[in-house]
Amino acid sequence: MDLFLWSALTIGFFGSFHCAGMCGPIAMALPNRDQQMTSLFVSRLLYNIGRVTTYSIFGALAGLFGHSLSINGWQSDISILSGIIIILFVLFNTQAVQTKINHRIYKFTAFLKKALGSFMQKKSFASLYFIGVLNGFLPCGFVYLALAGAASSHGVLEGMSYMALFGLGTIPMMLVLSLSGSFISIKARNWVQKISPVVAIVLALFLIQRGVMLKENPDACCERVEKSALVR
């Protein structure tokens, strides 16, 4: 697995600390089928697989977008642009900006929360899976960060793999959270909040450097695009 895909796991792992604060209440409120530990573990695992499913679909769409750019020779430009956008977001991510973004997505999240509430009333394995699927649609800065990386991939399969690995990186923390019924300490979450911009900047610089390398060696890009097309 190359460095590009490893970055997805890294973002997912650090993002899971953020998820503990944002999605923790949902994970802790998941319904229980019964009191058996095996059933509890399977239900929580299905919830997390549901989230990964949604992320993978997003990744496939982002990869398709990246693939179309590769065909037109714009792959390097989108990689550089993604890095620049991430840096700008980190630098100008003020409370006012967050308020405007949250206001625009309020109606959508209200619909999701209503649907989540409906599934929360059920205790089937299927409902737990779909709670995870819907949870994956909730706005999250780390998901957007990962999607920027997926968009700079070379095809549907690579974009899907990137977001699937991102989701897998979040599972250990979210699984422990949903099983233990306790939040990560405030101190730990504050620490992650401080290093989150650093993680974002590192990914941004990686995408920019990747884009520059593609400009210097466009044939490598074309070869990977052809391989991706063959896989599809």
Give pLDDT, residue 25.
73
Give pLDDT, residue 190.
67
Q: Which structure tokens are listed for 182?
A: 């306790």
Give pLDDT, residue 159.
92
pLDDT in tens, the chain (232 residues): 577 788 888 888 877 876 666 676 777 778 876 667 788 889 899 999 999 999 999 999 999 987 877 666 677 777 888 888 888 877 876 656 566 665 666 666 777 878 888 888 887 889 999 999 999 988 787 888 889 888 888 789 999 999 999 999 999 888 887 776 555 556 666 666 677 778 788 888 888 887 888 777 755 544 444 444 334 4
Residue indicated by tokens 């923790």: 24
Q: Which structure tokens are listed for 189?
A: 């979450």
Give pLDDT, residue 48.
93
Residue indicated by tokens 């490598």: 220
Measured between alpha carbons, how far is 66 from 79 in angstroms, rounded to an integer?
9
Give pLDDT, residue 62.
92
Please give the C-alpha separations between residue 228 and each of 26, 64, 65, 158, in angstroms, as whole numbers. 37, 11, 13, 8
Check if the beta carbon of residue 159 is closer than 8 Å to that of residue 64.
yes
Please count the residues of the chain. Answer: 232
Give pLDDT, residue 228.
43
The tally of CA atoms less than 13 A away on the side-chain side of residue 116 is 23
pTM of the model: 0.76
